[in-house]
Amino acid sequence: MNDNFDLQTYLTNGAEQIVKDAVRATLRNPRESAFMAKYALASAAGARRRRVLEGEGVHVPTYLICSITSRCNLHCAGCYSRCAEATQDAPPVAQLTDAEWAGIFDQAEDLGVGFILLAGGEPLLRRGVIEAASKRPDIIFPIFTNGTYMDEAYFDLFDRCRNLVPVMSLEGGRERTDARRGAGVYDRLLKNMEALDRRGAIFGASVTVTTENLDEAVSAGYIDDLAARGCKAVFYIEYVPVDGSTRGLAFGDAERDRLREAIDRLRARRDDVLFIAFPGDEKDSGGCLAAGRGFFHINSHGGAEPCPFSPYSDINVREATLRDAIASPLFTALQSGGLLLDDHIGGCVLHEKRVQVAALLDS
């Protein structure tokens, strides 16, 4: 790692580049580009707040991930969340209320957080939380959804509130998507894209990339098809193996290099689509960005966790502020230790090192 590496500058520049790319990707849509131009001002103000807090010894991450429900209607093959029992069919118990999530969004805005990724379970089951997010136009909320709960009321909400960006989960084309997510899901997502595109609303796609679908997911034909349907953002999420039997689907260094090279080609080829990889090239960011370095995760019950794939927590935002959570003993130990810098297979170093992470809670 470069000894002169400045994480705060790296993340701030990265966030600003995302906004610039989004503005460029929406230039053909006057409403969307007008919103993004206004948001760019809010993003710059948020970056200034983060720099002030950094000077006070408080490192505020640019991004926050919120799993707003543990409930989901699908049973996707190889789902990490179900394997970890973070997602279930039973009615949720003791989860954060709509008002509590609204309070978290307010705290995040005060701290200068610019992006809050909403996940689940299936986040569109929490309509009240989505509506609370819509009232905070200075934060962009990518909503990672399986898309099966979109209806006319949601389409209208996404049309009115451009800070809400539905990101629908695909595995590639129809065959791969339906094989993992269930028959008919792919066609349902195409209908959603048509409805959103008619309204000129920005939306994205999320592809869990594995050793099996990488070539299809980054192919020019696949991206051209998504773009023709109105898709303005593609998120590539590295697969995290749920057990030893699926380890062969997880990326190694060779696949990460191929993904990075493919994204470079796609960015050069299509300036009307935003491409984001998660976790991306950790070497360029000085290691994994979890545990508050670049982001952290709040689960549906309020536990502040390093990331969705590392479900360990020593603080709950029901009893503590977001600022307290950022400086939790677990996050502090992870940031000061070497785990975030370790080599790993698959999309999450902390999942692979989960025994060591759990041990920190007992130390």
- What lies within 8 Å, CB to CB, of 127 at 6+ separation is 153, 154
Which pLDDT belongs to residue 86? 59
Q: Residue 262: inside a domain, yes or no?
A: yes
- Whether the bond into 91 is cis, omega within 30 of 0: no
Which pLDDT belongs to residue 220? 96
Q: Residue 105: inside a domain, yes or no?
A: yes
Share of the chain above pLDDT 90, in %: 51
Which pLDDT belongs to residue 276? 85
Amino acid residing at 12: T
Name the more confident of 23 and 179: 179
* Average pLDDT of span 157-168: 93
- What lies within 8 Å, CB to CB, of 17 at 6+ separation is none
Check whether 3 has a pLDDT greater than 70: no
Query: Predicted confidence band at 85 (pLDDT cuts at 50, 70, 90)?
Result: low
* Average pLDDT of span 310-332: 92
* Cα dihedral sign, 194-197-203-208: positive
pTM over the 0.75 mark: yes
Which strand (E) or helix (H) includes residue 59?
Answer: none
Cα-based angle 165, 77, 120 (whole degrees, multiple of 5)? 35
Check whether 23 has a pLDDT greater than 60: yes
* CB burial readout 105-127, b (16+ within 10 A) else e: bebbbebbbbbbbbbbbbbbbbe
Check whether 234 has a pLDDT greater than 60: yes
Condensed to tens digits (0 to 9), the pLDDT of residues 179-198 reads 989 999 999 999 999 999 99
Query: Predicted confidence band at 124 (pLDDT cuts at 50, 70, 90)?
Result: very high
* Average pLDDT of span 222-228: 96
Q: Residue 1: inside a domain, yes or no?
A: no
Distance from C-alpha of 223 to C-alpha of 294, rounded to nearest angstrom: 28
Check whether 334 has a pLDDT greater than 70: yes
Number of structural domains in the chain: 1
Q: Residue 2: inside a domain, yes or no?
A: no
* Average pLDDT of span 250-279: 87
Q: Residue 131: inside a domain, yes or no?
A: yes
Name the more confident of 82 and 326: 326
Q: Residue 197: inside a domain, yes or no?
A: yes
- What lies within 8 Å, CB to CB, of 305 at 6+ separation is 296, 297, 298, 299, 311, 312, 313
Which pLDDT belongs to residue 5? 44
Say what the alpha-carbon torsion angle 287, 291, 297, 300 is, to the nearest 10 degrees.
140
Name the more confident of 32 and 178: 178
Cα-based angle 16, 22, 24 (whole degrees, multiple of 5)? 105
Distance from C-alpha of 242 to C-alpha of 346, rounded to nearest angstrom: 10
Check whether 355 has a pLDDT greater than 70: yes
Query: The domain that contains 289 carries what CATH number?
Result: 3.20.20.70
Computed over every residue of the chain, the mean pLDDT equals 84
Which pLDDT belongs to residue 1? 41
Least confident stretch, 19-28, 122-131, 258-267, 281-290 = 281-290
- What lies within 8 Å, CB to CB, of 268 at 6+ separation is none
Say what the alpha-carbon torsion angle 247, 248, 249, 253 is, to the nearest 10 degrees.
100
**Whether 96 contacts 300, CB under 8 Å:** yes
Least confident stretch, 121-130, 137-146, 173-182, 333-342 = 333-342
Query: Predicted confidence band at 2 (pLDDT cuts at 50, 70, 90)?
Result: very low
Condensed to tens digits (0 to 9), the pLDDT of residues 268-301 reads 999 888 888 876 545 555 567 777 888 899 999 9
Which pLDDT belongs to residue 17? 64
Its domain, for residue 74, covers 7-361
Q: Residue 349: inside a domain, yes or no?
A: yes
